[in-house]
A and B are shown apart, each in its own frame.
Chain A
Amino acid sequence: MKKSFKVLGLMAMLCPLFSTHAQERAILGKIEDQATNAPIPGVSIVVKGTMNGTISDSNGRFSISTTSDDAILVFSFIGYVTKELPVGNSTTIDVEMTEDTKTLSEVVVTALGITRAEESLGYSVQRVSSAGMDQARETNFVNSLAGKVAGVQITGSAGNIGGSSRITMRGINSISGGNQPLFIVDGTPLDNSNYNSTVTTQAQGGRDFGNTIQDINPDDIESISVLKGANAAALYGNRASNGVILITTKSGKSRKGVGVSWNSTYSLEKAYILPDYQNEYGGGYVQEFSTLDNGQFVADMAGDESWGPRLEGQAVRQWYSFYPELTEYFGKATPWVAHPDNVKNFYETGSTRTNNFSVEGGNDMSTFRLSYTNVDQKGIVPNSSLKRNTFSINGEAKLSPKITASAKVNYVNSSVVGRPPTGGWNADQALGLSFNTWFQRQLDLSMMKNYRSPTGRILNWNLSSPDNLDPYYWNNDYFVLYECYSNDSRNRIYGNVSLTYDITPHLKVTGYARTDFYDYIQEDRLAEGFIYQTMYEKSLNRFQENNFEVLAQYNKELSPSFSLSVNVGANTRRTETDYTYGKTQGGLSSPNYFNLKASSDPAILEDEKTELVVNSLYGSASVGYKSMLYAEVTNRADWSSSLPVSSNVYYFPSVSGSFVFSELLKSSVFPFAKVRLGWAKTGNGTEPYRLGNVYLAERSYGGQPVFTVPNSLNNASLKPEETNSVEAGLEGKFLNNRLGFDVTAYSKVSTNQIIALTVSGTSGFSEAIVNAGELTNRGIEISLMATPVQATNGFSWDIGMNFARNRNEVVELAEGLDNYLLGTTVVSINAPVGQPYGTIIGNGYALNADGERLVDDDGYYIVQQNKNLGSILPDFTGGITNTFSFKGLTLFALVDFQKGGKLFSRTSETGTYSGLMIETVGNNDKGIPVRNPVDDGGGIRAIGVTEAGEENSVYLDAPTYIKYLADNISEEFVFDATYVKFRELRIGYTFPKKWFAQLPIQAISLSAVGRNLAVIYKAVPHVDPEAALGSGNFQGIEDSQVPSARSIGFNLNVKF
């Protein structure tokens, strides 16, 4: 901390010293196409090895100044071969540029932020265009990547403002550690923690607070490079196993005048995947009404299920008739009727308003960009909202011909009120929104909207009894949302300052100081009137990671045929976290005094800090031969404080090469073809304090302190996890580059797994930290691009397709163990040896040899315990984009899909148990309503055979049958999570300049944008197959989530 400020201060002080200019002279010139002699506008001209650059004007003319006779000018433009010319002592340079037949000299950002020509890479780096992310927006920008990158799986919670988004690349590499990639913005690693409570990550309700990487602002993103494989990421050493997402932010460019732009999006969100409910029967456990002493029928209000009387308009005393202050209803029986849209109408129309203003400018000496973004979002759940302000400053200045200083600083302030509760039931907080789990179908939610009666009393539907108006299990949902809400806010600063020294035109050294720092406060409360004790809790999480890096880069053409590039770097990283938490106990001392001081009994306190230091040395060397053969080696050494002092250094090498064999073929059919091959070793570090054994403090017994031996056993000889990966690829382009493909196959073996191994508690510990096990991932990724139409009138149609298939296997766990338990709810999620990670195990149907379901003599399905119900990992994933453009008009559509993967649905399980869902009504195979008494021909017959082989003929009454299924046959509620989604649509129009020629406006474009427009196919009933429990490893459970929302809006972009 202190150190970083010193360095920052030092750099700030140094700045003025270098502000005088050296002797300069101007060079003028003109650029023409070699074939046509037509001037080429927009060519980038840079003095090699400097930031000094300009762009040719509409006549192909340029002017650039330099101070040195040794200077080399680099001319580059998309579609042309880059040309380098020495300045010498000339003052005018005319250039002829030749069209690049390959048109493939695309440039990508690779590890350490080094820009490389894509063709020189021996591994796959997928570039994602930022286009559209700042138009069709996601509050969590990670969701914007869905379907766009082969081999990247994203599971987000679309209906929840700023909810979690989980991202995995090329499968699962760590059994119990993190499986999220490393995010790097302009070289600065950003934290992506998730502060969801254990309750939420274990599918027991709670709230989804989202992962912190959502602080990245799409308006400031220039480009994204996805380093999926080990080779691409190897230079990040012990943080590279899960891949890296490299983000480059926008920066100012040398230009005339000041560029100002305004980007504004307004969108509306509406819940779009809601369960199919039944609307024939109301609340209660039996189909008859009870009667009051005066003979009136009375509804069963205490019950929170819908097995009650048929909804036929009977006059019934309902909940609102028991509140004397509701004079309109008090004592009156009202019709017992359905309200089919009660839940649908409960969800409001959400809205998101985003405005970005940016100012940029620059000249030969300096460039800058300032940007301010404001997001104002209102969720679909009542009383939920998000506000986010982002300030970004990117500046770079040449302090002298050889010294460049740069600063990239971002400040994000976000606050959310009313994160919606998730889950069907929460052990200690029945927070509500139980429409899909515990509810009465006939309830008219709009009657509860004004949740306090004229006397101030809270109106509840779930009355304990006609004489006791206290809520039994559930409060009024509106009361819960408006008075028992959470709020959280984060202030974050991240960015870096750097100083580059160009020692020679070929060698430069840069020093960086980077930080990512935030304070995150979460508060939650249960107000007076809630069914359980009033409560207030508050946590403060402070995170800081500082990195100091020195990087030397050497680039030289050794001969016309050979080029050499060497990078050597050193980094020291210090990560500190500090967490304090308090929760009141025994209720609040004064009603609705939401403060830790209000705790009636001693409050629960937690206080935890961690510190981690990792020092690293790394380097890479690559050689190229005639744009045809390339080879690269890298290595990195990491010293980590979290490992035993005696063995705390680990090396992560990689080798890769590529061969552009089209250079040999020189075929016009095959203008570009390349093979690549690479091997790399990457790691996954460990958390601090896992080596020695300690005791844990528990809450005291009166005045007696209480300590306990932890349930988790540490390990004094821990090693980092290691992934060895081989990757091979083939890419090519045909037909004038209108058809292209890129295929990558990889195989990864992850060993030394740091497993918080769940062990038999009879050993005295429920968990032990071990290094063991082996996990393999094999897969293939295919990207295809095609331009079916490219008409001379300007109309074009581009198709992009990506497809990925990953096969995961848990090859080995620790000795003697054949399963690793990731989590348990009704079913368990496991990593069993010989099976894929994420295998669902639970109770299923017992089958006979013919595969028929077995039924016992009483008509119940026989249960097979501990049945393998499939893996949560998909068979394959992918996406298809279509882009049509004609003059100023563009249309972009994205469809993405997932095939396979299993999902356990709590909505289905509990929603049928309690008689809410459509499948709990209808007719049986005799054509009689299933809910009619069995004696009258109703009931349901289990389809199966007895152990003697006879077909079951016993009918069970509907609730008995369905509740038995829900309680005993989890298999019934495990579904295929396959989906095809219409994820994104953008229709944009850039207005012709002549329309506003008189105005000081450069460009205007208007787009209609939509996200999550439709589910084209899904197999899971009632819910969105995409369900993420935070961003941890316990997944595959749909825990009665907030419904997904469709977003439709408009985007206006104006440049001044």
Chain B
Amino acid sequence: MKKTLIVSLMIFFFTSCEKDFEETNTDPNNPIVVSTADLLAGSERALIKQLFGMNDEWGFAYIPHVYMQYWSATLYTNTDRYETIPYDFTDLYVNSLNDLQHIIDLNTNEETAVSAQIDGPNVNQIAIARILKAYAFHNITDIWGSVPYSEALKGNEDFTPAYDEQEAIYDDIIKELTEAAAQINEEAGGVEGDIIYNGDMALWKLFANSLKLRVGMRLTKVDLSKAESVVKDALSEGVFTNQSENALYAYLSSSPNNSAWNQQYEFGAPEYACSTVLIEKLQSLNDPRLNVYAQPSEATGEYVGMPYGISNAEAGAIGYSNVSLPGVRMLAAEEPAILMSYSEVLFLQAEAAARGWTDGNAEALFVEAIAASMEYWGIEHDDSTFNTYIEQEGVAFDPVNFEKSIGEQKWLSLYTQGPEAWSEWRRLGFPLLQPAVAAVANREIPRRKGYPYSEYNLNRQNYDAAIAAQGPDVMDTRLWWDVEQ
């Protein structure tokens, strides 16, 4: 019996030796190696989800849609009234930027670069990741100002990255876009897993330059000469020349890849309707985009705007069925998100010409930009109706006050592109918008968002340093490029 016990003791304890342990502790649920194509698709999707929304997440974009008074809430008007100060940016870092950084690392490290090439030349993968990072960071800094940049995305090397000032971030974004465009090797081949351009490197080059054009123009209020040189530089390298080059993200028909607008209006109670400000502006100009941007109210069959910036009680008493919801095309599952359009590039070129930086015809470019916007939305634009539209007072280009002409038309053309619309309103000062009538604590239209609570809790020192340099963490604090003039 004793022997039996000793034997069984040995069986118990020596069947699992330590080598087994390593095997036991190898995660059977998740792979250790994946294709960079799959990471690229994921990081593009996450970027769009955070900025423009997808499926059941609104993303950031609904906030500037409301601030820019395209939309009014049908009941909970808290955003319309500027109630909430902070908004979280960390998901952009965690879900998109970190994966983009990972793609760069996998294509850079000698151990992994060779296998990464299966999905496209290392340089081209790196270039796409850098352009998308620049795109993400320029959006982030335009919303918050100083943010972690140079010390960000370093994992356990730095859990509390310092904040870089906006000027430094802009300088680096311009550098990144320039270098990324330069390193693209079109002959070497495309890149797999790219939802935006399906790996077409020529288009990525155009997007990099067009984005540089946008970013350069952003500096007009703070550093005119730098703005001029960056804009000229970008134009000389080649920007979008037609609609087919637009930077679009294609949503898919079914969950989880459908658009947020689709999900929200198809399956939930409508939370936002087109605002009175938008509807009345489109009506007063007889703008054909009205039929695309909005739909007639369910109750009356007329185009009726939802009053902007009123109290919850007042809004609740109106009810969504009495006002115009966003247009049918806007609510389609597959309607793409627009990262940047040909129309915007034309507006930027018109402005460059109006500023005398190029010898282009500012007015002609301005008209082309409007035409491109109409074209995008499937509206006839080489007929007399279009001519009447562009020649009427309130649209016709005013070279003296080009900021007003461009600002107002850009606002109309950037519907659905909330973040960019908000930035350009802050830069150009047009259209003239009135703050919400029932604004919380008499707040003005926000000029930035507050930092997320998590940064206050988890990265306090750097948060404190950032607001000490930039100004209080409120929505009235102006960003570096948004100096008061």
Contact = CB atoms under 8 A, between A and B. Distances in A.
- Same assembly: yes
B382 interface: no
B380 interface: no
Given A701-B252, A709-B102, A768-B156, A641 B24 contact: yes
Contacts of A586: 254-255
A550 B4 CA distance: 12
Interface residues of B, number: 87
Given A303-B316, A709-B98, A762-B147, A503 B2 contact: yes
Given A689-B27, A763-B152, A816-B159, A960 B311 contact: yes
A694 B18 contact: no
A694 B30 contact: yes
A572 B13 contact: yes
B458 A819 contact: yes
A344 to B, nearest CB: 28
A764 B32 contact: no
A285 interface: yes
Nearest to B19: A645
B248 interface: no
A579 to B, nearest CB: 9
B254 A550 contact: no
A709 B93 contact: no
Contacts of B312: 285, 963
Contacts of A841: 457
Contacts of A374: none
A761 B90 contact: yes
A701 B94 contact: no
B378 interface: no
A4 to B, nearest CB: 11
A141 interface: no
Interface residues of A, number: 101
Interface stretch (B39-47, B361-369, B390-398): B39-47
A759 B154 CA distance: 12
B29 interface: yes
B179 interface: no
Contacts of B99: 708-709
A696 B30 contact: yes
B253 to A, nearest CB: 9
A1053 B333 CA distance: 65
Interface string A508-525: 010100000000000000
Nearest to A758: B458
B316 A764 contact: no
Contacts of A615: 13, 16
B28 A609 contact: yes
B172 to A, nearest CB: 15
Interface string A759-799: 11111111010000000000000000000000000000000
A946 to B, nearest CB: 14
Contacts of A707: 31, 34-35, 38-39, 42
Contacts of B39: 695, 707-709
A967 B441 CA distance: 13
A300 interface: yes
Contacts of A761: 89-91, 93-94, 454
B283 interface: no
A697 interface: yes
A648 interface: yes
B32 A694 contact: yes
Contacts of A1025: none
A548 interface: yes
A3 B158 CA distance: 47
B190 interface: no
A473 B453 contact: no
Of A285, A403, A763, A960, most B-chain CB atoms within 10 Å:
A763
A224 interface: no
B417 to A, nearest CB: 22
B5 A550 contact: yes
Of B33, B37, B317, most A-chain CB atoms within 10 Å:
B317
A465 B322 CA distance: 10
A465 B313 CA distance: 16
Contacts of A704: 37-38, 41, 193, 195
A866 B29 contact: no
Contacts of B98: 709, 764-765
Interface string B442-485: 10000000000111111110000000000000000000000000
B160 A816 contact: yes
A863 to B, nearest CB: 10
Interface string B57-74: 000000000000000000
A691 B22 CA distance: 10
Interface in A491-506: 501, 503
B21 A648 contact: yes
A1056 to B, nearest CB: 40
A688 interface: yes
B454 A701 contact: no
Nearest to A964: B440
A702 B95 contact: no
A821 B94 contact: no
B257 A701 contact: yes
B32 A585 contact: no
A612 B441 contact: no
A106 interface: no
Interface stretch (A150-158, A350-358, A600-608): A600-608
A511 B454 contact: no
A724 B39 CA distance: 44
Interface string B305-326: 0000001110011010100000
B148 interface: yes
A964 B413 CA distance: 36
B78 interface: yes
A764 B24 contact: no
Contacts of A764: 93-94, 97-98, 101, 152-155
Given A706-B45, A758-B458, A511 B8 contact: yes
A39 interface: no
B12 A570 contact: yes
Contacts of A640: 21
B25 interface: yes
A322 B127 CA distance: 62
A511 B1 CA distance: 12
Contacts of B97: 764
A694 B27 contact: yes
Interface in A267-307: 285-286, 290, 300, 302-303, 305, 307
Contacts of A607: 29
Contacts of A819: 457-458
Interface string B101-135: 11000000000000000000000000000000000
Given A641-B25, A701-B195, A858-B442, A821 B321 contact: no
A131 interface: no
A585 to B, nearest CB: 5
B51 to A, nearest CB: 15
A841 B148 CA distance: 24
Interface in B314-345: 316-317, 319, 321
A830 B31 CA distance: 33
A762 B317 CA distance: 42
Contacts of B400: none
A611 B26 CA distance: 9
B313 A760 contact: no
A723 interface: no
A936 interface: no
A693 B26 CA distance: 10
11 contacts: A465-B321, A468-B321, A645-B22, A648-B21, A694-B30, A701-B257, A708-B46, A761-B93, A765-B155, A766-B90, A821-B458
Given A286-B317, A764-B153, 18 more contacts: A465-B299, A472-B269, A501-B5, A639-B18, A706-B41, A708-B99, A759-B160, A760-B160, A760-B454, A761-B94, A762-B89, A763-B154, A763-B158, A763-B161, A766-B94, A818-B460, A821-B458, A960-B311
Interchain residue pairs A-B with the least CB separation, the first 5 = A761-B90, A764-B98, A762-B148, A694-B30, A601-B254
